[in-house]
């Protein structure tokens, strides 16, 4: 926004040569650059060559009157910012309203008082310059937004690159992920820790933007690299260690929810712990056992130094399937202005459990979510993990 200011030019439009000459002399004496134009297209032609700061135009002129000239100026993007002053002997409110509706910015009553003329012009120059600064600022903000959008898109691509590919074999797992425009804090993974322990988890950082993504990405990197100083087969101990290393005070008040589970095929045992995360859904595709919502009892990671996390375990029956998700799936506006809730989502998942284990089960669930929300856009990242455990 630094640099030399644009020269101040004033365009006079008047078919009275004597009156126009008097105004020209008075304004030129103040050091302004003055351009005198005849009414009609001549004024527009000269203005296009040198866009004026202020236009002083008589209302009553032969041919193209002042209102016509004003409309023409305000219709051209390159000229519309000029401060347009109409000279008029009319004093009725209706006339002033008509002039304002045509785009006039100010009025000067005829006969023109010299001091009022100069004051009105100075005022117009200030307003024009303020408007130009605002336009420049708006342009800079737009460019910054474009850069930020690009950075967020690159960050979203990076998050996608960290996420796991589908896994087949003794445990089959796949996922869906969609970042919101501002990028949230979702991150997840699933992998074999050894031949008999399969890890899966989903983390969701609070807030939006890059700062929200950093904590969950850090968790992802520590777990994937196995650098966390704890037995990754113990969900409660994992959350306890993460909570110790992620105090809110060191992360700009950020915290994260996390559901962490370990499945052992040899014993058909699923162990899990939750740090304030929505409950995972366990069901049987063969109806061998009733469905379960696996809630866990822990607080979100980073909230309290003295938070504790316990590991819960259960044996899974034949055809066991597990669904882990983030709250971006149900915190979506619904028709009527209400927000979706966790109980609504849980009910929908239970209704869809017969198809969830199908190859397109996750896509069919997402389709149902969009249907009940009236296809409202998601306002947060959403993530889904589906694992067929036996």
**Beta-strand runs (E) in 89-229:** 106-109, 172-178, 185-194, 197-205
Which phi and psi (to 5°) does residue 61 adopt? -140, 155
Residues 6+ apart with CB under 8 A from 316: 263, 268, 269, 270, 282, 289, 389, 390
Q: Whole-angstrom Cα distance, residue 73 to residue 96?
A: 18
pLDDT of 390: 74
The tokens for 36 are: 């005198």
- 262 closest CA partner among 177, 387, 165: 387
What is the dihedral sign for C-alpha 117, 122, 127, 131?
positive
| DSSP summary character for residue 79 | T
**Mean pLDDT of each 10-residue bin along the chain, 390 residues long:** 62 88 91 86 86 91 85 90 88 80 88 90 91 88 82 74 89 90 79 96 81 79 90 96 79 84 96 96 92 92 91 93 94 84 94 92 93 84 92
- pLDDT reported for residue 27: 92
CA gap 171, 389 in Å, rounded: 5
The highest-level CATH class for domain 163-388 is alpha beta
Residues 201/234, Cβ–Cβ less than 8 Å: no
The residues of the chain that CATH labels 3.40.50.2300 are 9-137
Q: What is the CATH number of domain 9-137?
A: 3.40.50.2300
What is the per-residue pLDDT for 39?
A: 75
* Domain boundaries for CATH 3.60.40.10 within the chain: 163-388
pLDDT of residue 174: 96
382 vs 373: CA distance, rounded Å: 15
Structure tokens at 179: 């970042």
pLDDT at residue 249, as a whole number: 62
Q: Please compute, for residue 338, the number of CA atoms within 13 A of its CA located in the half-sphere on the CB side.
A: 8
202 touches 209 (CB < 8 A)? no
């Amino acid at each position: 926004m630094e640099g030399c200011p644009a020269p101040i030019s004033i365009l006079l439009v008047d078919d009275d040569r004597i009156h126009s000459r008097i105004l020209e002399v008075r304004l030129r004496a103040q050091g302004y650059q003055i351009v005198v134009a005849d009414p009609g297209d001549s004024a527009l032609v000269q203005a296009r060559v040198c866009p004026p700061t202020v236009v002083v135009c008589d209302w009553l002129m032969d041919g193209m009157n002042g209102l016509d000239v004003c409309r023409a100026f305000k219709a051209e993007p390159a000229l519309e910012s000029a401060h347009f002053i109409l000279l008029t002997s009319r004093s009725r409110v209706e006339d002033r309203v008509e002039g304002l509706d045509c785009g006039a910015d100010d009025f000067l009553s005829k006969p023109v008082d010299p001091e009022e003329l100069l004051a009105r012009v100075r005022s117009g120059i200030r307003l024009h310059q303020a408007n130009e600064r605002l336009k420049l600022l708006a342009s800079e903000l737009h460019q910054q937004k474009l850069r930020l959008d690009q950075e967020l898109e690159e960050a979203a691509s990076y998050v996608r690159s960290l996420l796991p590919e589908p896994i087949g074999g003794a445990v089959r797992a796949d996922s869906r992920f969609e970042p919101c425009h501002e990028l949230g804090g979702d991150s997840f993974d699933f992998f074999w820790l050894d031949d008999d322990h399969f890890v899966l988890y989903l983390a969701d950082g609070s807030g939006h933007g890059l700062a929200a993504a950093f904590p969950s990405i850090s968790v992802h990197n520590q777990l994937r690299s196995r650098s966390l100083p704890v037995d990754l087969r113990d969900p409660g101990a994992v959350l306890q260690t993460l909570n110790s290393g992620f105090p809110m005070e060191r992360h700009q008040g950020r915290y994260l929810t996390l559901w962490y589970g370990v499945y052992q095929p040899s014993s058909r045992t699923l162990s899990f712990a939750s740090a304030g995360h929505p409950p995972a859904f366990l069901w049987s595709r063969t109806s061998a056992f009733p469905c379960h919502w696996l809630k866990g009892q822990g607080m979100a990671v980073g909230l309290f130094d003295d938070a504790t996390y316990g590991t819960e375990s259960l044996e899974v029956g034949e055809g066991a399937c597990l669904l882990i998700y983030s709250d971006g799936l149900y915190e979506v506006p619904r028709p009527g202005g209400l927000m979706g809730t966790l109980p609504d989502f849980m009910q929908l998942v239970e209704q869809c459990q017969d198809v969830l284990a199908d190859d397109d089960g996750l896509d069919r669930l997402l389709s149902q979510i969009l249907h009940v929300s009236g296809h409202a856009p998601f306002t947060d990242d959403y993530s889904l993990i589906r694992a067929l455990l036996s």
